[in-house]
Amino acid sequence: MNLEGRFDTRCIHAGQSPDPNNGAIMTPVYFTSTYVQEGIGQNKGFDYARVRNPTRDALEGNLAALEGGAHGMAFGSGMAAVQAIFEQLSSGDHVVLGDNVYGGTFRLLDKVMTRFGLTYTQVDTGDLAAFKAALRPNTKLVMLETPTNPMLGLTDIPGVRQVMTVMGSKAVLAVDNTFATPYNQRPLELGADLVFHSTTKYLNGHSDSIGGIAITNREDIAEGLRFHQKAAGGILSPMESWLILRGTKTLHLRMERHNASALTLARWLEARKDLKAVYYPGLESHPQHALAKQQMKGFSGIVSFDTGDAERTRRMASSFKVFSLAESLGGVESLVCHPASMTHGSVPEADRQRLGINDNLLRLSVGVEDVQDLIEDLERVLKV
C-alpha cells in the first residue's frame, strides 16, 4: 500500500494491504523458500525467497515510508546492514567514521573491513571543522550516529551535508538513526543519502527480534544494497519481519512515552548532588540542546550518567529491581547497561576514556513503565 498520510497513520498501514486471497488485515508470515512459476521466465514477481519475500516486502515498504524514503532493504541484523553498506566500497576507498558510533560498527570497520583495503578516519562529526579536515579525495562514505551511543552527542546533519557540498565530496552520507527513530528525526529530510537502523531496538520495541534496515531515496544506492541481499544472503527472515511490523504499529505511541519518561528521569537525575554528570539532549544543560530542538521532534529514551565512582557504579548495576542489567535498548521494558564493559568493550580503552565512556558510566534505556516506579528504583540503588 503506497499510503500518503501522517506519521501515525503510516506506522499502522504503510507497506501493507489486506491479503488478496482472504482479506486478512494482518500481513501473513510467508514461510516459503520458493515460488511456483507460471512458465519459463514467468512469475508473479517472486522466484526465490532470498531475493524477495512478501512479508519482508511489507516491512521494507513500511519502514521506508516512516523515514520518508523510497527504498528499504532489510537485513538479518543491524550489523548485517552496516556490513552491506561497507561492502558497497572498494579497496583503497576511505571512510569518515564518527568517533562515538556503536562499538560493533567500529569493530567491523577496524578489525574486518580494513583487511580488504578500506581506510578510515575517526572524527567528532559534531565538530564541523574537524569533519572538514577529515575528508579526503578518496572518501566514499561518511558514516555517523546522532545521537551517539552512549554519550548522546549530536551531529548537525545539514551542516555536514553543507561541508561535503562545499568540498565537492561525492561520498555517501549515511546516518545511524537507531537511537532517535524516525518518530523523532528523519535524516533523509536533513540531507543524508542513506539512513540505517538496528530494528532490534525501538522499531521492534519488544526485545524479541533481531534485524536491520537501510533506507534511501537514491536508486543507485538501493540497487547496490538489493544486489548485496541477493548475492550475500544476509536477509531478514519472514518471522522477524512480521515481528517488527507488529512493533511499528505502536511506534508513535511508545516513543511519546519513551520521550516523556526519559526527560523526567534526566531532570530528576540532574537535580541530584551525588552524580558527576547526566547526559540527555533534552536537558537545557546539554551543550547541543539547541541543535537537538532544531533537528529532533523529541529526545528519545536513552539517558546516561556518570556516578563518579567505578565501584559504586558496579554495585548499582546489579541492584536494580525494575531496570534489568542487559545489552540492547529500545524495548518496552527498562534496561541498564555498563557501556565500558558491554556495548563498547571492543573500543580501545584510551578512546573510551577520551569519549567519557569510563567505568563510572551507566546507560539507561527508559521503557514505558510508570515513571514514578523507575524513579523509585533509581533512588534506591543510588543509596547502595
Residues carrying an active site annotation: 50, 102, 176, 201
CB environment 203-238: b (16+ within 10 A), e (fewer): bbbebebbbbbbbbbeeebbebbbebbeeeebbbbb
Residues 6 or more apart whose CB falls under 8 angstroms from that of 311 comprise none
The grid cell for 207 is: 526485545
Residues 6 or more apart whose CB falls under 8 angstroms from that of 253 comprise none
Cα–Cα distance measured from residue 278 to residue 362, given in angstroms and rounded to the nearest whole number: 10
Cis previous bond, 150, omega within 30? yes
Instruction: Decide: 148 and 178 in contact? Cβ < 8 Å.
Output: no
Rg (C-alpha) for the chain, rounded Å, is 21
The grid cell for 261 is: 519518561
* Exposure of 147 in the CB half-sphere (CA atoms within 13 A): 29
Residue type, 60: E
Cα angle vertex 354, ends 309, 290, to 5°?
A: 95
Cα–Cα distance measured from residue 330 to residue 333, given in angstroms and rounded to the nearest whole number: 8
Cα–Cα distance measured from residue 67 to residue 63, given in angstroms and rounded to the nearest whole number: 6
Instruction: Decide: 196 and 74 in contact? Cβ < 8 Å.
Output: no
Cα angle vertex 233, ends 330, 199, to 5°?
A: 10
The grid cell for 83 is: 556490513
Q: Which residues pair with 120 in a beta bridge?
A: 95
Q: Which residues pair with 277 in a beta bridge?
A: 306
